[in-house]
Amino acid sequence: MINEVLHEDNIRNLVKKFPMLDLLEDIKNINDVCDYSFVETECNGRKLNEIQVLFLGKTGYGKSTLLNKIIGENVFKTDDVECCTKQVQSSIFSLPIGGDFYFSLYDFPGIGESKSADKRYLDKYLKMVATSSVIIYLLRADQRDFSIDEEVIKLLSKTAKVKKKIIIALNCVDKIEPVNKKNFFNLSAQQKSNIDSKKKFISKKFDVSENYIVELSASDSFNIDQLVDKIGVSIIKTHWQLMSDNFKKEEALMRGELAEVFNNFNELQDDLFLLLNKIK
């Protein structure tokens, strides 16, 4: 899918902030590539091979703010009311292998503006969720109506493979009652209790394990590291699965080659037996 790259950096700078992503620094040669879920994309005629993380959710729920906090620069335009992201945009991080191999964070247009816009955006979502490594879906901790989100997540997670990629980022926990009026945000015991109840509710409503729901406040930089840790763990799990699948393929290929060798050997034995009988 064609997208606009707003920001480009080296993966080592992101790993300094989020050590759980250090596995990406191990991708140093072409032989490592097959053990990761790279997908080929295009941007302004430039072909990229990417490990993709998608950020999805309703308009104004903090996708762009969260991405800016993760990368440490205000490159994604933000607005609490209007949708600023009208097309697919990304921040990409070059990997040690060099060439056109990247770890990429994608900001998608928000849903919930209108039915026509939602359909157009959802078509874009569906084209990428199958090949992406991780899907971050943002909700607001203080929201009450989840009907649109339910429809979207149900549509996105039609297959078990895609469903396993989804992590719910429960943003704006600073808005959970009782609201902290102090300048420095810190969760109170009552807020934590209310958030835990909210997570249980969301887990049941969306059929997602609580382990894949991360409470955070993008505006206050609260718990963002935990979300990125979850992204790292998801990439590691996918990496291990691909390694296992590739090993099984290699094993099957070797078994096939050995079977062919034995068949050829048996045929050679038969030929030798016939030849010996003729000599006698």
Count of other CB atoms within 10 angstroms of residue 90: 26
- Domains in the chain: how many in total? 1
Establish if 274 belongs to a structural domain.
no
* Residue 122: domain span: 4-264
For residue 75, what is the domain's CATH number? 3.40.50.300
Q: Is residue 156 part of a domain?
A: yes
Residue 38 domain-assigned (yes or no): yes
Has residue 122 been placed in a domain? yes
- The answer to whether 140 and 171 have CB atoms below 8 angstroms apart is yes
Residue-wise pLDDT for 217-267, tens only, equals: 999 999 999 999 999 999 998 888 776 765 566 656 666 665 665 566 566
Q: Is position 241 within any domain?
A: yes
Q: Is residue 123 part of a domain?
A: yes
| 196-217 as b/e: b if 16+ CB within 10 A | eebbeebbeebebeeebbbbbb
Window from 106-115, 207-216, 268-277 with minimum mean pLDDT: 268-277
Judge whether 134 and 102 are in contact, CB under 8 Å.
Answer: no
Element (H, E) at 115: helix 115-129
Share of the chain above pLDDT 70, in %: 81
Q: 180 falls in which pLDDT band (50, 70, 90)? A: confident
